[in-house]
Amino acid sequence: MTSSHSKLYSDDVSLVVVVVDTNPFFWAEAALPFANFFEHLVHFVNSILLLNHLNRVVVIAAGVSSCAYIFDSSDATAPGGAGVAATFDKTKHKVKEFIDQDALATKGNSSVDSNNAASLLSGALSLALCYIQRIFRSGTRHPQPRILCLQGSRDGPEQYVAVMNSIFSAQRSMVPIDSCIVGTQDSAFLQQASYITGGVYLKPQELNGLFEYLAAVFATDLHSRTFLRLPKTLGVDFRASCFCHKKTIDMGYVCSVCLSIFCKNQKKCSTCGSEFSRVMPDLNSMPDQSK
């Protein structure tokens, strides 16, 4: 590991893992071009690194057919002016290379089209969490990790289970997941992620000022956040959607074997094939309970 182990870590040292959505279908039609967005991101990463010399940033790109690590501030060579400019140039180059490779991989896959293409948020979150676990293993003195997701494309419902697994694992390791939505629609997955893990969810209204939103809301370390008034979403809709029609329901029927949710009573579970023995009476509380 690097020599930073011998330095003293205080509460405000952070490791930020930034998950960047590079879905070409989304960026082709976005109001803010990707190059400008990337500039905002580079300035933001720079500002985090300037806040504390022990801060670390890792950037992971989530594409349509693949995910990869783009930047890790702990492998930067020499600090100093020329070193920094060269590092960021290298990063820009790497992003371009990643997007090209991702596009090539997507072209060969006929099941993806512009209507249903969601970026691989679950893969990027899993990579981020593995990296964070490595930081936890590196000893008692380590920066406080958190994840920031910059998401533009919509949620892919096929990733629901994987995203929820990542969220619960982040919750157990106490890693907050912040989200900044650079697209037009809210993302239910990220709203739940930020709510469950204690992160911040933000959908900026003016994308040209993205850097200001990022620096004001997401740059502070976890310890200092207790002194700030950050945007708070009042309540997240945790209602489930039924497996048969995909509409959100208030009350439904759950299969006791595989936990699939249905909106109407039926004889057989379509997911696990279990036959239901009889119609359950509505009162499923035990008769000898005093309350």
Partner 1 sequence: MYGVGGSGVGGGFNAPSTAAGRRRNQDEDDEEEEDSAEGRVLEAWERAYADDRSWEALQEDESGLLRPIDTKTLVHAQYRRRLLRRSAAAAAARIQKGLIRYLYIVIDLSRAASETDYRPSRMAVVAKHAEAFIREFFDQNPLSHVGLVTIKDGISHRLTDIGGSPESQIKALMGKLECSGDSSLQNALELVHGYLDHVPSYGHKEVLILYSALNTCDPGDIMETIEKCKKSKIRCSVIGLAAEIFVCKHLCEETGGSYTVALDESHFKELLLEHAPPPPAIAEYAAANLIKMGFPQRGAEDLISICSCHKKIKSGAEGYICPRCKVNVCELPTECRTCGLTLVSSPHLARSYHHLFPVAPFDEVSFIPNRGQKGAQNCFGCQQNLFKPGSQSNLHVRCPQCKQHFCLDCDIYIHESLHNCPGCESQRSFSS
Q: Which stretch binds partner 1 (CB under 8 A): 10-18, 28-36, 68-76, 211-219?
A: 68-76
Segment interacting with partner 1 (CB under 8 A) among 13-21, 81-89, 222-230, 235-243: 235-243
Shortest Å distance, C-beta 221 to partner 1: 22
Closest separation in Å from C-beta 98 to partner 1: 12
Smallest gap from Cβ 67 to partner 1, in A, equals 4
Which range binds partner 1 by CB under 8 A, 65-73, 77-85, 93-101, 147-155? 65-73
Among 10, 36, 77, 109, binds partner 1 (CB under 8 A): 109
Q: Which is nearer to partner 1, 229 or 232 (CB)?
A: 232
C-alpha distance from residue 228 to each of 48, 118, 258 (Å) = 17, 33, 43
Stretch that binds partner 1, among 24-32, 37-45, 132-140, 215-223 (CB under 8 A): 132-140
Amino acid at 258: C
Which residue matches tokens 């009042």? Answer: 234
| Rg for the chain, CA atoms, rounded | 22
Strands 67-72 and 144-151: unpaired
Binding residues among 136-175 for partner 1 as defined by CB under 8 A: 137-141, 158-162, 164-169, 172-173
CA atoms within 13 A on the CB side of 225: 19
Q: Which of 232, 234, 159, 166 is nearest to 199 (CA)?
A: 232
Minimum Å distance from CB 216 to partner 1? 25
Q: In Å, how far are 119, 121, 182, 247 from 154, measured between CA atoms?
A: 8, 10, 11, 17
Distance separating alpha carbons of residues 212 and 109, to the nearest angstrom: 38
# binding residues, partner 1 (CB under 8 A): 85
Tell me how crowded residue 243 is: count the other CB atoms within 10 A of its CB: 16
Tell me, residue by residue from 201 to 230, as one string, x for binding to partner 1 by CB under 8 A and - for no binding: ------------------------------
Can residue 114 be called a binding residue for partner 1 (CB under 8 A)?
A: no
| DSSP codes joined into one string, 67-87 | EEEEEEGGG----SHHHHHHH
Asked if 103 touches partner 1 (CB under 8 A), the answer is: no
Q: What residues between 247 and 266 interact with partner 1 by CB under 8 A?
A: 249-259, 261-262, 265-266
Q: 4 vs 52, which CB is nearer to partner 1?
A: 4
Torsion of CA 16, 19, 214, 236, to 10 degrees: -100
Q: Which one among 32, 42, 196, 215 touches partner 1, defined by CB under 8 A?
A: 196
Q: Is 240 in the site for partner 1 (CB under 8 A)?
A: yes
CA-wise closest residue to 269 among 280, 279, 255, 282:
255
Taken in order 193, 16, 45, 22, is the CA torsion positive or negative? negative
Distances (CA, A) of 166 to 126, 177, 193, 258: 6, 10, 9, 20
Which of 3/205 has CB closer to partner 1? 3
Site membership for partner 1, residue 244 (CB under 8 A) = no
CB of 207 to partner 1, least distance (A): 27
Establish if 17 lies at the interface with partner 1 (CB under 8 A): no
The verdict on 5 binding partner 1 (CB under 8 A) reads yes
